[in-house]
Amino acid sequence: MMKVLWAPWRTEYVTSGSKKGHCIFCPDGDRSQDEKRLILFLGDRTIVLMNRFPYINGHLLIAPLRHVSSLDALLPEEKLELITTVEKSIGVLEEVMIPGGFNVGLNLGKVAGAGVEEHIHFHVVPRWSGDTNYMSVFAEVRVIPEHIQATYRKLLPFFKKF
């Protein structure tokens, strides 16, 4: 007998590809929407936001503010601020969430898994021993133990220190 695992929150993810003309990494002038957009930090050349569809709690996305699709398109000062922001973000996650390790990387091109291939961005994913389970393997469902807004409120004060 087929069992059904209802995951209505996935609807937002599977239908989000239809939003054309809006880049999640391009901030607009309305800073009052930062919490809704999960923006933790907006620097001179970089932005840090939480992944709305995370692999695990604390999954961050870090991008240059300038809309570019490759590393070689970045200016030297953008590269420096980008990697420095990745480093500082790891520090915040270490202090607040105390993970055992991290996956840090970027997906270049659609076939490499880039969901937003036209705006380069790093993924910073905190990891804990035993944080994966059978749900991802058998049911294609991720079990995230903390609500995303709770994680946002926990991290925001530390990113304000940047």
Interval 129-145 mean pLDDT: 66
Residue 22 among the catalytic residues: no
The better pLDDT of the pair 137, 56 is held by 56
Q: How many domains does the chain have?
A: 1
> How far is 62 from 105, CA to CA, in rounded Å?
10
Residue 18: pLDDT over 60:
no
Contact 123, 74 (CB under 8 A): no
Range of the domain at 91: 35-159
The tokens for 33 are: 């929407």
Residue 4 lies in a domain: no
Cα gap 62→83, rounded to integer Å: 9
Candidates 122, 116, 39, 42; CA nearest to 83 is 122
Mean pLDDT of 30-52: 92
In a domain, residue 10? The reply is no
The per-residue DSSP string of 139-157 comes to: IS----SS-HHHHHHHHHH
Residue 136 lies in a domain: yes
- pLDDT of the residue at 147: 86
List 59, 119, 121, 123, catalytic entry:
121
Q: What is the DSSP-derived secondary structure letter of residue 127?
A: E
Whether residue 41 contacts residue 47, with contact meaning beta carbons closer than 8 Å, is answered with yes
What is the C-alpha separation between 51 and 24, in angstroms, rounded? 10
Residue 87: inside a domain: yes
pLDDT (0 to 100) of residue 83: 97
The residue behind tokens 């409120």 is: 153
Q: Is residue 89 part of a domain?
A: yes
The CATH code of the domain that includes 81 is 3.30.428.10
Residue 109 lies in a domain: yes
Place of tokens 């069992």: 3
Residue 27 lies in a domain: no
**Is 123 part of a structural domain of the chain?**
yes
